[in-house]
């Protein structure tokens, strides 16, 4: 039986580091540019992505023009643990060029299937390799030499193709689930606009009276702007940022224990519990003020995710927050938590967050700024009617996100088994079997 082998990446692929920037120069040829976020946010590069317009020289186009089967990776990052994110080009795209901060990897397709290679580069073991060899201090980068030496595990080609078929079928299921999430989110967004500009009468009907104009946007008649503090639990610290590095550092994390939520766990309207860190119970006891209760509002406070928020569910109960999360302790007798979560995602609050988040040395928002947000307020009965109106869509979105999370966990498990040779694939059938010891 043919065996797996591990080779340096350069043995099976041509590697090119792009220097094509985002500028448009009249003397150069117009091109579509595949940029950092196009790769970072997508596993597959296809023609429906919104590529930017730029220009490049003829020499740059000859060297960095993208073709079907190329694998692109993010070669630069602000942190070494978030570098080398891969995406594969799934179709021929006219006039598309690889942009700066990316590396173009063109596999020898007699040796390695492009999707198989992309999945190999996405494995945690490869990410650890990239993290070790990313050089820099304030910004990190992967050199051509480091990329060339990347250990790459290869199965025989017939197994590669079968593995790709299994994993891409899961990718398709995830993509379809994400499309349904997007559909329900659009419905919810339209509903929220009506609810937060017109309000709801006791009979469940939208108000017919005109909205009241404020400096931050329209409010329903009878509503007012106030502080989120009016809805918080007076028995707890109302708004709290997670512990700083000195109180919770890398050395405190263990394999099992009390979960710690990071910024990536706080999705909009949903707590993603598929990837958690843990501290010991004794360490958690010293950080008890940062424990989460079900119904607390968790708020992503830094970076591109600033303003993203979700209510803590039963799974998050008892977990800790880290420094990148703000916890708002809601008093459920004074508010409807789902109303508060929705209000933070409403335009009238989002505009203020966008205004405030760049006022520090790093893009983000702090507890003081949240306290002083002009927050839309109405009586608790109307809050509950709005929460009930939003509940069906919120529940559908939450269930779809849970389904997506399970699919991603299944995919992660299969990637670990299939891409290491831990499971032998029976080519020509849909079956897999555990490799003998």
In 98-221, where does DSSP find H-type helix?
114-121, 124-133, 144-148, 157-198
145/398: higher pLDDT: 145
Give the pLDDT band of residue 393 (cuts 50, 70, 90). confident
Question: Which of helix, strand or coil describes residue 16?
Answer: strand
- The encoded tokens of residue 372 equal 């002083």
- For residues 124-152, give the mean pLDDT: 92
Neighbours of 409 (CB within 10 A): 12
| N-terminal to C-terminal alpha carbon distance within the chain | 15
Contact by Cβ (8 Å): 119, 105: no
* pLDDT tens per residue, range 313-338: 898 999 999 988 999 999 999 999 99
User: Sign of dihedral through CA atoms 223, 227, 228, 231?
Assistant: negative
DSSP 8-state code for residue 27: T
Is residue 421 predicted with pLDDT exceeding 90? no
Rounded CA gap, 21 and 33, in Å?
9
Rounded CA gap, 278 and 264, in Å?
15
- The encoded tokens of residue 225 equal 């702007």
* pLDDT tens per residue, range 69-83: 999 999 998 888 889
Give the pLDDT band of residue 428 (cuts 50, 70, 90). low
Rounded CA gap, 228 and 379, in Å?
13
* pLDDT tens per residue, range 266-298: 888 788 887 788 999 999 999 999 999 999 999
User: What was the pLDDT predicted at 433?
Assistant: 40
- For residues 418-423, give the mean pLDDT: 85
User: What was the pLDDT predicted at 182?
Assistant: 92
- For residues 22-39, give the mean pLDDT: 93
Surface-to-core class of residue 157, CB atoms within 10 Å of its CB (0-12 exposed, 13-18 middle, 19+ buried): middle
- Using alpha carbons, select from 343, 345, 311, 314 the residue that is nearest to residue 328: 311
Rounded CA gap, 272 and 76, in Å?
26
User: What was the pLDDT predicted at 263?
Assistant: 84
Residue 84 — left, alpha, or beta (φ > 0 → left; ψ -120 to 50 → alpha)? left
Is residue 1 predicted with pLDDT exceeding 60? no
Contact by Cβ (8 Å): 417, 212: no
Minimum mean pLDDT range among 155-159, 354-358, 380-384? 354-358
Q: Dihedrals φ, ψ of 129, to 5°? A: -60, -50
Contact by Cβ (8 Å): 242, 290: yes
| Residues of the chain above pLDDT 70, percent | 95
């Amino acid at each position: 039986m043919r065996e797996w082998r591990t080779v340096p990446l350069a043995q099976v692929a041509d590697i090119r580091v792009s220097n094509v920037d985002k500028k448009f120069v009249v003397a150069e040829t117009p091109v579509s540019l595949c940029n950092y976020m196009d790769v970072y946010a997508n596993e597959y590069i296809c023609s429906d992505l919104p590529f930017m317009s730029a220009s490049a020289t003829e020499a740059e186009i000859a060297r960095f023009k993208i073709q079907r089967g190329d694998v692109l990776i993010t070669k630069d990052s602000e942190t070494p643990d978030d570098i080398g994110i891969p995406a594969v080009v799934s179709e021929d795209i006219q006039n598309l060029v690889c942009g700066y901060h990316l590396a173009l990897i063109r596999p020898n397709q007699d040796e390695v299937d492009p999707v198989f290679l992309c999945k190999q580069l996405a494995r945690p073991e490869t990410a650890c390799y990239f993290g070790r060899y990313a050089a820099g201090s304030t910004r990190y980068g992967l050199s051509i030499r480091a990329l060339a030496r990347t250990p790459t595990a290869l199965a025989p080609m017939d197994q590669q193709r079968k593995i790709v078929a299994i994993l891409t079928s899961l990718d398709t299921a995830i993509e379809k689930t994400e499309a349904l999430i997007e559909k329900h989110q659009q419905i919810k967004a339209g509903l929220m606009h009506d609810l937060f500009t017109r309000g709801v009468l006791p009979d469940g009907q939208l108000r017919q009276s005109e909205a009241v104009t404020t400096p931050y946007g329209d409010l329903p008649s009878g509503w007012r702007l106030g502080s989120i503090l009016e809805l918080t639990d007076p028995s707890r610290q109302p708004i709290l940022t997670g512990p700083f590095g000195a109180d919770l550092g890398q050395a405190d994390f263990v394999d099992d224990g009390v979960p710690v939520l990071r910024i990536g766990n706080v999705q909009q309207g949903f707590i993603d519990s598929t990837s958690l860190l843990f501290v010991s119970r004794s360490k958690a006891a010293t950080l008890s003020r940062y424990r989460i209760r079900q119904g607390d509002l968790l708020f992503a406070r830094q970076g591109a995710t600033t303003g993203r928020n979700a209510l803590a569910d039963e799974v998050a109960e008892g977990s800790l927050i880290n420094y990148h999360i703000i916890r708002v302790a809601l008093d459920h007798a004074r508010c409807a938590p789902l109303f508060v979560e929705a209000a933070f995602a409403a335009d009238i609050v989002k505009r203020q967050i966008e205004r405030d988040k760049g006022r520090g040395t790093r893009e983000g928002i702090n507890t003081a700024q949240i306290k002083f947000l002009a927050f839309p307020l109405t009586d608790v009965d109307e809050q509950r009617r709005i929460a009930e109106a939003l509940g069906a869509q919120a529940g559908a979105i939450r269930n779809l996100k849970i389904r997506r999370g399970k699919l991603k966990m299944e995919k992660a498990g299969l990637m670990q088994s299939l891409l290491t040779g831990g499971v032998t694939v029976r080519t020509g059938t849909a079956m897999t079997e555990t490799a003998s010891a």
